[in-house]
Amino acid sequence: MLTTLKAVCSVHASYFNNHCRLLLTIFVTMKREAPYRAMTQDSCEDLTLLDTGSGDEFSSLQQTELDLAQCRRRLRLVGFALICQSFALLSILGIGLALNMRRGPMSPIFPQALYPPAQHLIEYETRVFHEGFGKDESIYQQAPSPEVDEAWTNLYNFGVSRITKEEAYQLVNQTYRLPGDEDHFVIQLDVFHQLHCLNMLRKAIWPSYYPEMDKLNPLHWGHCIESLRQSLMCSADITPLVWQWVDRVKEVRIMGNIIHTCRNYDKIKDWGIAHRLDHELNFTGFH
């Protein structure tokens, strides 16, 4: 028995450590002081291993070991709970930091402070801007033609939009309901108005092709210029322009064909088409 106990302790020394030494000490003491007794059914049930008072001493040692084992288990459970709580806290802090770094009206996580009905459709993408020179021109800057005019009007010419009264009630600024329609109200997304203004300014550069622009009230030009100025400063694109070596001209130049983070305009355009008012808007005599 002693040999077996020593073998078990040697194999599992890293686990049992002090327990093995205590058991070996108890076993040697029992071997030296207690006479041999054959095991009986009663002795197995009563767990009587030693004569006289030695059984009480062994029971006390057993209870001490059980108490220590329970204490160690509690400590392990407490330690595991602390590790889990620490991990959860670090995760929350990490997520909070990430959200804080991306905070703002232009962030897909934090929507605009003022409610826009098309907010739920906003998606972000990266897009390389056209530099606007040579082969890097877009159709929107080309000389007037029916194709150019169509490209421009397709960007914004959807008329005004209608929204539900539930959406209208969430607007910061009041708007009118549609005449004869109690359930819908009228709005227009400002980006469509801004593109209209930009197209008017484009046409003004080509008076021979667009003679009707000469008849436009100068106040309209001032309105469009101011509207675009405010919009540019409101969105405040902070994408860095860079300077690079241009081998063709053998000098360093500022580069405009750089990558930007943009809202997906196609989604906004689709919203405008889906919500456009099919009939002419007439508020005459309506209040």
Task: Give Cα 139 to chain centroid, integer Å.
Answer: 36
What is the reported pTM? Answer: 0.61
| pLDDT (0 to 100) of residue 141 | 95
Q: Which of 154, 127, 179 is nearest to 272 (CA)?
A: 154
Alpha-carbon separation of residue 223 from 61, 63, 140, 141, 234 (angstroms): 94, 91, 22, 22, 16
Q: Which of 121, 99, 118, 95 is nearest to 110 (CA)?
A: 99
Rounded (10°) CA dihedral 156, 161, 167, 173 = 80
Is 275:162 a contact under the CB 8 Å cutoff?
yes
pLDDT digits (tens, 9 = 90+) for 1-58: 445 545 545 544 444 454 455 444 544 444 444 444 444 444 444 444 444 445 555 5
Which residues lie across from 128 on neighbouring strands? 259
CA 36/CA 255 separation, integer angstroms = 99
pLDDT digits (tens, 9 = 90+) for 208-242: 999 999 888 889 999 999 999 999 999 999 999 99
Alpha-carbon separation of residue 277 from 1, 126, 154, 273, 282 (angstroms): 96, 32, 16, 9, 12
CA 161/CA 277 separation, integer angstroms = 5
Query: Which region among 70-84, 180-194, 196-210, 251-265 has the lowest average model confidence (pLDDT)?
Result: 70-84
Residue spans of alpha helices (H) in 34-112:
41-46, 54-101
Is 55:30 a contact under the CB 8 Å cutoff?
no
pLDDT digits (tens, 9 = 90+) for 101-138: 554 444 554 456 778 898 888 999 999 999 888 888 99
